[in-house]
Every structure is written in C-alpha cells, then in structure tokens.
C-alpha cells in the first residue's frame, strides 16, 4: 500500500499529468531501475526515502524486489517538487506521516505547505532583488565595453 492509498475518502493528485511512458494502472509494476530512469533519483536515494519514512513500504515481488506503482511515481514527483522548494527532509517526512494518518490531518498539512509557500515566496523576492543587481551590473559593463571598443576603434 502506498502513502496515497492510505487516505480514505478524498484523493489528492500528487504530481503533474501522467507521463506517456507509464503503464496503465493495474499493470504498473516498476523495478527500482525503471524508477531511477523515470525520476533521475538514484537507487540509493529511493531506498533511503523508504528507510526514513518519506515513502511508505514499497510492495515487493515474490523474489523480494521492490515494485513501484504509478502512485509511487506520483508521490516521488511531489517529493521532488517539495525538495525544489527547499523544504527540509524532516518536514517532508512529517508531511508523509500526516498523509498516512488520514484526512483528519488536513489542517496540519495545510499549515506545513503554507509555511513552505511563504518561504518560497520570500526566496523568489530575494532572487528578484539579486536579478536586479545583476541586470544593473551587466548594463554597466555592457556600456563600458561598448565605450572602450568605440574609443579603441
């Protein structure tokens, strides 16, 4: 059972639109190497995510090989987006725990994601300020370079 399957009544799509190369639900049994190819994560990272509780226990084949589903890929897509926000791993693990606990944790999940959103907006503002400084420097050096070329030529 995946993290997403543990939330009773409402489902929340974790990732973006389905990827064309994915198999249809019911036929979606991916090896760890296939998931590495889909996600760009390493096998070590996937095992670590499972070990720390960021991913629920992954189904296994009769030989003990991990078998990931489309829902697992959706979850990994969300985790990738959360990583890009700069969310600490501990907060991502907490979010996964809240999802597994069920619908009564919507408020806590909302607060966690809202705090992350505020952090992202603050980082975007910082990046806009940094971009403005770069633009000023580029304009200055561009004008200085053009002046030097004109003077020399």
Position 74 scores a pLDDT of 93
Per-position b or e across 113-144, b if 16+ CB within 10 A of its CB? eeebeeeeeeeeeeeeeeeeeeeeeeeeeeee
Structure confidence by residue, pLDDT tens digits, 66-125: 999 999 999 999 999 999 999 999 999 999 999 999 999 999 999 999 999 999 999 999
Position 19 scores a pLDDT of 52
């Amino acid at each position: 059972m995946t993290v997403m399957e543990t939330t009773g009544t409402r489902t929340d799509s974790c990732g973006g639109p389905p990827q064309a190369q994915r198999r249809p639900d019911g036929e979606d049994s991916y090896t760890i190497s296939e998931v590495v190819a889909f996600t760009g994560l390493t096998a070590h990272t996937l095992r670590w995510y499972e070990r720390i509780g960021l991913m629920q226990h992954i189904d296994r084949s009769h030989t003990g090989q991990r078998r990931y589903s489309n829902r697992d890929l959706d979850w990994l897509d969300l985790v990738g987006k959360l990583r890009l926000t700069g969310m600490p791993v501990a907060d991502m693990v907490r979010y996964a725990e809240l999802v597994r606990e069920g619908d009564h944790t919507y408020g806590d999940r909302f607060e966690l994601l809202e705090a992350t959103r505020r952090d992202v907006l603050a980082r975007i503002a910082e990046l806009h300020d940094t971009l403005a400084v770069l633009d000023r420097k580029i304009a200055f050096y561009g004008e200085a370079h053009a002046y030097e070329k004109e003077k020399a030529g």
